[in-house]
């Protein structure tokens, strides 16, 4: 039941991520073309470069998460072709564990970076938070867009959550497929 739900959430999330990444790729292309056209016309729009960069950053994180979901990230597939299926399953399990460890490590670093406990302790007063921690994440503005960079960096905790979901779903699915036939039948959704 948990495996089926987690797998369903992961699949749905991956579909949304793929469509979102595609839309962001289109936005990056449009922004770059806009920059070229306006620059050539002598009326360059100064914030377009920065918007294109941030759209590309979000696209990269979202697409990477979807790639983890589909196990389609860059890999050396020759090894899987040369080893028996059982060894290949073991390798896939090891890879899934490493992806989960990577996501958990990024989660810890993101927690320390965003320091939500410190922000809460400061009563959501950004100025008091900055004075107490010398962490300016919530107040540092972008160069030309004029928005807080925390909105740009928000993709990192989103990536941590989505990648963790995908890695856990892949890991559990791999374990279920490696279980003996009787155990796999008992775990199968009804």
pLDDT digit string, tens, across residues 44-56: 998 999 999 999 9
Which ranges of the chain would DSSP assign to H, the alpha helix?
A: 2-40, 48-69, 78-82, 85-114, 116-121, 126-133, 150-153, 155-178, 181-187
Pick out the chain residues at pLDDT < 70. Answer: 75-76, 178-190
Q: Per the structure block, which two tokens stand in for 11?
A: 């699949």
Please give the model's pTM, rounded to 2 decimal places. 0.86
- The pLDDT assigned to 98 comes to 94
24: closest CA among 55, 54, 61? 55
Q: Are 96 and 102 in contact (CB under 8 A)?
A: no
User: Which residue has 């928000």 as its token pair?
Assistant: 154
pLDDT in the model for residue 178:
65
Measured from the Cβ of residue 99, the count of other Cβ atoms closer than 10 Å reads: 20
Domain ranges of the chain: 2-187
Predicted pLDDT of residue 184: 43
Question: Rounded to an integer, what distance in angstroms lies between the CA atom of residue 38 and that of residue 42?
Answer: 6
Residues 48-95: tens digit of each pLDDT: 999 999 999 999 999 999 999 988 877 667 777 888 989 988 988 999
The pLDDT, as a whole number, for residue 188 is 43
Give phi and psi for 146, each to the nearest 5.
80, 15
């Amino acid at each position: 039941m948990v495996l089926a739900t987690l797998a369903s959430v992961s699949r749905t999330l991956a579909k949304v991520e793929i469509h979102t990444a595609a839309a962001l790729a289109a936005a990056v292309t449009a922004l770059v073309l806009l920059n070229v056209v306006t620059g050539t016309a002598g009326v360059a729009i100064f914030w377009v470069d920065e918007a294109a960069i941030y759209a590309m950053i979000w696209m990269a994180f979202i697409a990477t998460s979807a790639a983890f979901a589909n196990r389609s990230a860059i890999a050396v597939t020759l090894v899987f072709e040369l080893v028996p299926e059982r060894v290949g399953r073991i390798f896939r399990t090891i890879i899934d564990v490493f992806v989960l460890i990577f996501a958990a490590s990024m989660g810890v670093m993101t927690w320390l970076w965003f320091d939500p406990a410190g922000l809460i302790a400061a009563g959501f007063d950004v100025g008091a938070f900055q004075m107490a921690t010398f962490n300016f994440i919530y107040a540092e503005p972008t160069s030309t867009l004029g928005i807080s960079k925390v909105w740009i960096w928000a993709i990192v905790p989103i990536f941590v959550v989505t990648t963790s979901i995908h890695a856990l779903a892949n890991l559990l699915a791999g374990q279920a497929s490696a279980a003996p036939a009787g155990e796999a039948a008992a775990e199968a959704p009804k």
